Amino acid sequence: MKIEIWSDFVCPFCYMGKRRLENAMEQFAHRNEIEVEYKSYQLDPEAKHIEGMNFYETFSKLKGFPLEQTIAMNKQVAQQASTLQLTYNFDTMKYANTFDAHRVAKYAAEKGKGKEATERFLYAYFTESKLISDHETLIELAGEIGLDKEEVAEVLASDRYAQAVHHDIRQAYQIGVQGVPFFVFNRKYAISGAQPETVFLQTLEKVWEEETNVKPVLQTLNPTGADAGVCTDEGCEIKK
């Protein structure tokens, strides 16, 4: 079984969705026969770090949201993340553009370290408040997961893997992705948003049981009928 995951490193629900899928996979009997591939997506291609401004101020300025609303919204997201033992430090977080991080992740995947890069970059951004658009930061993080730091520096000094990142983003639009995280199972079923673990487990079992050479139209599943956390280019918030 192959699972493709479109996500962005600054997407809070992407980290939560990733953890929920992983928790579901731990309960799945055939977990060792699953291939997971992370796909690039940028919530805000124009995102940038503004020196001297904190995350809330930057987000408010670039997105046009009232500061008070921005703070309250992200506090709620951090509380939800804590239920998965994830720590989101929005107070010290550094707003960043993720294009170069995605390029390094593509390089990492080529070296067999794609999963490690994804987890490391998410943790660095949300928990450690590292500026993941900074090249030196990306080089250090890549080194921590066993990648050659000099090769990573060469990647960042060039435009290597830029087309691969753009290809993933175009592909997302082609299959109807409107927000992330977005999980595609064998190009047969899709889950949009950080759905509950039970949804992921049910989907894993359903796809496994129905495994066939037939490739029907992609169907987006939401068996609970509830809104799940999903990030769009307008921002992230918990639906009520």
pLDDT of 50 higher than 70:
yes
pLDDT of the residue at 223: 64
CA distance 25 to 39: 19
Name the pLDDT band for 238 (thresholds 50, 70, 90): low
Q: What is the mean pLDDT of residues 198-226?
A: 78
Per DSSP bridges, beta strands 35-40 and 2-7 are parallel
Q: Is the pLDDT of residue 212 over 90?
A: no
Q: What is the pLDDT of residue 176?
A: 92
> Tens digit of pLDDT for each residue in 104-149?
999 999 999 999 999 999 999 999 999 999 999 999 999 999 999 9
Q: Which residue has the higher pLDDT, 2 or 239?
A: 2
Q: Is pLDDT at 213 greater than 70 in this prediction?
A: no
Say which range, 2-6, 25-29, 53-57, 230-234, has the weakest mean pLDDT. Answer: 230-234
Give the chain's domain count. Answer: 1
Summarised one tens digit per residue, pLDDT across range 157-190 is 999 999 999 999 999 999 999 899 999 999 999 9
Domain span holding position 85 = 2-237
pLDDT of residue 48: 93
C-alpha gyration radius of the chain: 18
pLDDT digits (tens, 9 = 90+) for 58-76: 999 998 999 999 999 999 9
Phi-psi region of 215 (alpha: psi -120 to 50; beta: other; left: phi over 0): beta
Contact 4, 184 (CB under 8 A): yes
Q: Report the C-alpha gap between 28 and 201 in whole angstroms.
A: 7
Residues 16 and 229: their CA atoms lie apart, in Å, by 9
Percent of the chain at pLDDT > 70 equals 92
Q: Is the peptide bond preceding residue 181 cis, with omega within 30 degrees of 0?
A: yes
In this structure, what CATH number is given to the domain that contains residue 171? 3.40.30.10
Beta pairing, strands 235-237 & 230-232: antiparallel
Contact 109, 165 (CB under 8 A): no
What are the pLDDT digits (tens) for 6-32? Answer: 999 999 999 999 999 999 999 999 999
Pairing state between β 189-192 and 182-185: antiparallel
Whole-structure pTM over 0.85, yes or no? yes
- 219, pLDDT greater than 90: no
Instruction: Name which of 142, 166, 144, 167 is nearest 155 in CA terms.
Output: 142
More confident residue, 101 or 231: 101
Beta bridge partners of 221: 191
The bridge status of strand 189-192 relative to strand 35-40 is unpaired
